[in-house]
Amino acid sequence: MMNLSLNISNIGLRILVNDKEYFVPFSNYPEFKNAKIDEIFNVQFLSPSQLYWQSLDCDIELEALEAPERFPLRFNRQVV
């Protein structure tokens, strides 16, 4: 079973997954900056290494948080 804990600050999210801490900066993941608190806390595992926020239509691989230099491309959502 995967354990997950979240903490929100003014610069990003701290996510604790099975005793390993990750930081999700709003500067790299702007979809969280204006999200409602309940949307941020409504997270689930798609796999043991992938988190998913259905209401934000956003997912993050834990490996991308561990080694962001290996994942230089960023998704930019465009509204039409």
Look at residue 70 in the predicted model and tell me its pLDDT.
85
Q: Is 74:28 a contact under the CB 8 Å cutoff? A: yes
Whole-angstrom Cα distance, residue 50 to residue 30? 18
Sequence-ordered strand ranges (E) for the chain: 4-8, 12-17, 20-25, 44-47, 50-53, 58-61
What are the tens digits of pLDDT across the range 30-68?
899 999 999 999 999 999 999 999 999 999 999 999 998
Better-predicted residue by pLDDT, 2 or 20: 20
Q: Is 65:23 a contact under the CB 8 Å cutoff? A: yes
Q: Name the amino acid, one letter, at 48.
A: P
The residues near 33 (Cβ < 8 Å, ≥ 6 apart) are 26
